[in-house]
């Protein structure tokens, strides 16, 4: 099941238990939003967005990020199998040790660790 968030600005979205492992979250053309996901979901896709804070529990497949700037990922349970980046800059919050099992695919992008 696909849940889309398009053209949302200056909002905080809290998905407490609404999402399940069958959901994919699609985010496009958003600015300055905070997203809190407290359950395990399938995948997150983020396109053409800026200033996004993403707090996630865990993912089955991973995250695809394209043409997105200033994305901060805070992973609660250290379970992101794959991060795919294209023309984006992403900040991973926490120790690099937390992401040692994450497969990274990056093209024309910056991935920066912040603690």
Question: Residue ranges per domain, the chain?
Answer: 2-114
CA angle, residues 46, 49, 51, in degrees to nearest 5: 110
- Would you place residue 45 in the very low, low, confident or very high pLDDT band (cuts 50, 70, 90)? very high
pTM score: 0.94
Distances (CA, A) of 50 to 17, 40, 86: 26, 24, 14
Is residue 99 helix, strand or coil?
Answer: helix
Report, at the CATH architecture level, how domain 2-114 is classified: 3 Solenoid (2.160)
**pLDDT, tens digit, 9 for 90 and up, residues 81-114:** 999 999 999 999 887 777 888 999 999 999 888 8
Residue pair 74/52 in contact (Cβ under 8 Å)? The answer is: no
Per-residue pLDDT at 42 exceeds 90: yes
pLDDT at 107: 94
pLDDT: is 115 or 4 the higher one? 4
């Amino acid at each position: 099941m696909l849940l889309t968030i398009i053209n949302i600005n200056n909002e905080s979205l809290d998905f407490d238990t609404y999402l399940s492992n069958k959901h994919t979250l699609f985010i496009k053309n958003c600015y300055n939003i905070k997203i809190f996901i407290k359950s395990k979901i399938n995948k997150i896709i983020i396109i053409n967005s800026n200033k996004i804070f993403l707090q996630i529990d865990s993912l089955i497949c991973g995250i695809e990020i394209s043409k997105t700037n200033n994305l901060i990922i805070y992973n609660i349970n250290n379970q992101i199998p794959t991060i795919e980046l294209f023309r984006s800059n992403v900040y991973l919050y926490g120790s690099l040790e937390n992401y040692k099992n994450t497969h990274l695919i990056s093209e024309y992008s910056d991935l920066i660790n912040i603690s």
